[in-house]
């Protein structure tokens, strides 16, 4: 009897590889999916699962399914590949320790003036001393609203490249 090629193994390998590669080629462009691989991790898990089922049935029913040897080899490679990906994302992506000069709680924040994305000049001190304008309404520190600004939340981020 001709043995089945055991397509699950091949599909599993394909899905696993695609799960890793597509992170760097495609999903990295989406901030949310870059910061945490919401699509890629499930994809890789699915690939490994299919591969696992394929290899398992090659061992259980070797008279029907091929793949005891090449399935095991591919399985080890796929797990290593997935492991490398996870290491890169979760450990290779460790941030450097914060510099000693970074202002800490209780210290005064160095003032600055920078342009916003519409080229309005924004000065931290003047935002802090201005009447409050709701977020999203206009450039900070412009226009009058009820009450003084109670503070500023600054979000430094890596940028979206």
Rounded to a whole number of angstroms, the minimum distance from the CB of residue 99 to another protein is 3
Q: Which positions from 113 to 142 touch another protein by CB under 8 A, shown as an x/- string?
A: -xxxxxxx-x-xx-xxx--xxxxx--xx--
Rounded to a whole number of angstroms, the minimum distance from the CB of residue 27 to another protein is 13
Nearer to another protein (CB atom), residue 2 or residue 161: 161
By CB under 8 A, the count of residues binding another protein is 61
130 closest CA partner among 117, 116, 140: 140
- Cα four-point dihedral sign 102, 104, 107, 108: positive
Go through the chain and tell me how many residues it has.
161
Tell me the C-alpha distance between 24 and 29, whole Å. 8
The answer to whether the beta carbons of residues 23 and 83 sit under 8 Å apart is no
Examine residue 155 and tell whether it contacts another protein (CB under 8 A): yes
Rounded to a whole number of angstroms, the minimum distance from the CB of residue 104 to another protein is 6
Rounded to a whole number of angstroms, the minimum distance from the CB of residue 130 to another protein is 9
- Cα four-point dihedral sign 33, 36, 38, 40: positive
Examine residue 61 and tell whether it contacts another protein (CB under 8 A): no
Residues between 72 and 101 with contacts to another protein, criterion CB under 8 A: 89-90, 93-101
Nearer to another protein (CB atom), residue 65 or residue 132: 132
Tell me the C-alpha distance between 72 and 67, whole Å. 7
The answer to whether the beta carbons of residues 23 and 85 sit under 8 Å apart is yes
Positions that interact with another protein (CB under 8 A)? 31-32, 35-36, 89-90, 93-112, 114-120, 122, 124-125, 127-129, 132-136, 139-140, 147-161
């Amino acid at each position: 009897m001709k043995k089945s090629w055991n397509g699950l193994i091949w599909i599993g390998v394909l899905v696993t590889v695609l799960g890793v590669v597509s992170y760097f080629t495609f999903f990295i462009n989406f901030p949310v999916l870059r910061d945490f691989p919401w699509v890629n991790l499930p994809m890789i898990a699915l690939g490994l699962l299919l591969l696992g089922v394929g290899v398992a049935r090659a061992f259980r029913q070797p008279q029907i399914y091929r793949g005891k040897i090449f399935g095991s080899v591919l399985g080890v490679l796929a797990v290593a590949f997935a492991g490398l990906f996870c290491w890169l994302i979760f450990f290779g992506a460790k941030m450097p320790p914060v510099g000693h000069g970074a202002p800490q709680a209780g210290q005064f924040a160095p003032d600055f003036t920078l342009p916003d994305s519409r080229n309005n000049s924004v000065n931290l001190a003047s935002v802090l001393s201005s009447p409050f304008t709701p977020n999203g309404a206009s450039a900070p520190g412009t226009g009058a609203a009820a009450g003084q600004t109670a503070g500023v939340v600054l979000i430094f981020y890596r940028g979206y490249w």
